[in-house]
């Protein structure tokens, strides 16, 4: 009897997601019918070599920062996989996660590639959790600050300013609580669904925040570069953060439909539709599809190098407590 309500909840959730996707699809079809696609193609052709080179530089910067997530995870979990291979696994997993969903890329792909070099599932789970926390730590700080300052990108949202500000406070409080917990209980172990995890030290948490914030800022800089006109960067940053959250809520691969809806509505009063659509198409091509092609090649190379680069055995960092610290001081 206890499983029956749970089954209906899952079905209701799927129906709700499907209904939202259908609504978004209808809205996008309506937008597409009223779009001058010749003007969209003209806007795409207007991206010169210098702008494309700068855009590719921002793409490389963002992916390099995400590789930094993986290297921080390597240090935190202490698994000993060589640095180049760990960074490559992080990049491949990120590209697949963006295009096919976090379950396939961030979870399944990372698990397969690490298992190929002998890393256990428990450590891979810790790596994945650490990367997820890193990614959303910077997001919470940036988005929470924007909401607290009343920077809501969608038109008609001004009437709900108290609710948006409350959400901003909650996001900032969550990020601050994580940082304080890392400072108060460094290296403290805890259990989550049968897996043991270790709380990072304060210095590691600050690095997480820094890398994540720069990554989101780089993605927003890419969107800002591709958009036309004199649009403020801070405005584009807020729109990118809102689009990312909409993509998570809709649970569509690559946030398909969510990014288009948010961007078109956010800039409806200031920019023409066709250049915005061109910027979104260029963004998807440069940030999603091009890295996915590189990731497929990287995945094949990692598969071909099975058995090489196996992890060195690195002992877990001992938990530091007031008692052990006192014993060390006495021994000294």
pLDDT in tens, 278-312: 999 999 999 999 999 999 999 999 988 765 555 55
Would the pLDDT of 161 be above 70? yes
pLDDT in tens, 16-25: 656 666 766 6
Would the pLDDT of 268 be above 50? yes
Q: Is the dihedral of CA 179, 238, 53, 258 positive or negative?
A: positive
What does each C-alpha distance from 329 to 72, 318, 323 come to in angstroms? 29, 16, 10
Mean of pLDDT values over 222-237: 93
Mean of pLDDT values over 31-51: 84
pLDDT at site 101? 78
CA end-to-end span of the chain: 62
Q: What's the predicted TM-score (pTM) here?
A: 0.83
User: 33 and 91 in contact (C-beta within 8 Å)?
Assistant: no
Alpha-carbon Rg for the chain, nearest whole angstrom, is 22
Buried b (16+ CB within 10 A) or exposed e, 291-302: bbeebeebbeeb
Would the pLDDT of 319 be above 80? no
Q: What percentage of the chain has pLDDT greater than the value 70? A: 79
pLDDT in tens, 111-145: 889 988 888 888 898 898 899 999 999 999 999 99
Q: Tell me which residue has tokens 């096919």.
A: 100
């Amino acid at each position: 009897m206890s499983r029956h309500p749970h089954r209906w909840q899952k079905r209701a959730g799927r129906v709700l997601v499907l209904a939202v996707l259908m609504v978004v699809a209808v809205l996008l079809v309506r937008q597409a019918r009223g779009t001058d696609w010749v003007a969209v193609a003209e806007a795409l052709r207007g991206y010169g070599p210098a702008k494309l080179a700068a855009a590719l530089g921002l793409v490389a910067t963002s992916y390099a920062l995400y590789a930094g997530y993986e290297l921080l995870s390597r240090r935190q979990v202490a698994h000993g996989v060589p640095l180049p291979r760990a960074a490559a696994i992080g990049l491949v997993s990120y590209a697949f996660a963006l295009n096919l969903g976090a379950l396939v890329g961030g979870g399944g792909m990372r698990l397969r590639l690490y298992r190929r070099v002998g890393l256990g599932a428990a450590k891979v789970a810790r790596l994945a959790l650490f990367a997820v926390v890193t990614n959303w730590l910077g997001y919470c700080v940036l988005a929470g600050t924007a909401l607290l300052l009343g920077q809501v990108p969608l038109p008609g949202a001004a009437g709900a300013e108290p609710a948006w500000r409350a959400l901003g406070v909650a996001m900032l409080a969550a990020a601050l609580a994580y940082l304080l917990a890392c400072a108060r209980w460094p290296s403290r172990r805890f259990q989550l669904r049968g897996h043991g995890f270790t709380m990072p030290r304060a210095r590691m948490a600050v690095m997480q925040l820094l890398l994540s914030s720069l990554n989101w800022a780089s993605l927003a800089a890419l969107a800002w570069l591709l958009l036309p006109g004199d649009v403020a960067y801070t405005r584009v940053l807020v729109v990118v953060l809102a689009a990312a959250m909409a993509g998570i809520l809709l649970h569509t691969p690559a946030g398909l439909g969510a990014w288009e809806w948010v961007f078109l509505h956010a800039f409806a009063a200031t920019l023409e539709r066709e250049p915005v659509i061109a910027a979104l198409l260029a963004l998807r091509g440069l940030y999603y599809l091009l890295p996915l092609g590189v990731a497929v090649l990287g995945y094949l190379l990692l598969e071909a190098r099975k058995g090489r680069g196996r992890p060195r055995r690195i002992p877990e960092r001992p938990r530091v407590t007031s008692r052990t610290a006192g014993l060390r001081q006495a021994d000294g």
